Structure 1
Amino acid sequence: MYSVDLKNIVPKRGLTCLFAKATSDKSKLLHKRLRHLIFKTMNKLVKGNLVRGLPSKLFENDQTCVACQKGKQHRASCKSKTENSISLPLHLLHMDLFGPTFVKSLMKKMYCLVVTDDFSRFTWVFFLATKDETSGILKSFITGIENLVDHKVKVIRCDNGTEFKNREMNQFCEKKGILRQYSVARTP
């Protein structure tokens, strides 16, 4: 926040005291003191006389604040995969159940089950009245889609919700040979 001139250090009996000197440019100093506030906003504060002690002058930005420049930089995101690791439809299905929703559907359903195929990104949506219907719908959906497409579901990826981790789903997945992968519940 302050610039320190190390040439003006005055030692006294073994103690050294640093004196903070403000920069000559008041706008840069106030910009730093006001937590790197944008100069346009600082001018609005002056114009509206909203801050006591703020000098009534026009603040100009000369783009030399290193902290602001570093704050505007951002790292490159993770490299995207060029090849899909999934080579067949229905190999990996992503599933999530959300609800209750504030607005009911036409058939008075309050929950929504979303199933997405990782290979094709094709998505199926099922509307449910209660969470208890999840196991029955998933069992009939997986059996039907496997017969329709002539591929087997290998992996189901879902959260740790009880609608996916219960005795009925455990038995069904064990019988079909479906591996389940769980993420942390309530995460995007």
Structure 2
Amino acid sequence: MAMEYLILLSRIAPGITSHPGRSRDLLSLLVRTNTTKDNPQSKRLSDAEVPTFLVAGHETTSPAATWALCMPAENVEVQTRLRNELLTLETDEPSMEELSVLRHLDCVVRETLRLYAPIVGTLRIAVHDDVIPLATPITDLDGTVHESIRPRKGQSVLIPLFAMNRDKAIWGLDAREFISLATRAPAFASRSSN
């Protein structure tokens, strides 16, 4: 895939670099960043990293965008509030600053990503022996109660995002329901600050 990227880069780089303000898509940004003389080699992505970045971005962004369109479509109230809020924008190309103040849009995006996160879990490798305290003790299959988890150096630790994002103990009895309005907002605020 790195070879395909290099071929693609050789074909599109001249147009992208000669008109830097025209294209604002991810590929154009990567090409500009990787080809500008102002950016030192140590700050550029390698030719092997770019295809991985593009595939990872596509495989996570596409499902997230699909669910973000699907969820409001199934709830007329959410759809109406979101549409009315978006109609307050004075431009068809709002800045991130303008988008960041749209409360209902923020709730729809957060709730969509909570319920339908593009990544169901993430794996980490312990770089040293550690002790992770638990807020609530757990009982294992043998009946032993644990107040902490003790990963050993080199051990894999799976963080189950899908399960955590739908856990009723964290999100309430309606944890598996799409609720994008202000009722979910306090939960987002308390969790995003941790």
Q: TM-score range by the shorter chain?
A: under 0.3
More helix by share: 2
Q: With the length of structure 1 as denominator, give the TM-score of the two structures.
A: 0.18
Determine which structure has more spread, i.e. the larger CA radius of gyration: 1
More strand by share: 1
Q: With the length of structure 2 as denominator, give the TM-score of the two structures.
A: 0.18
With a CA cutoff of 8 Å and minimum separation of 6, indicate the structure with the bigger relative contact order: 2
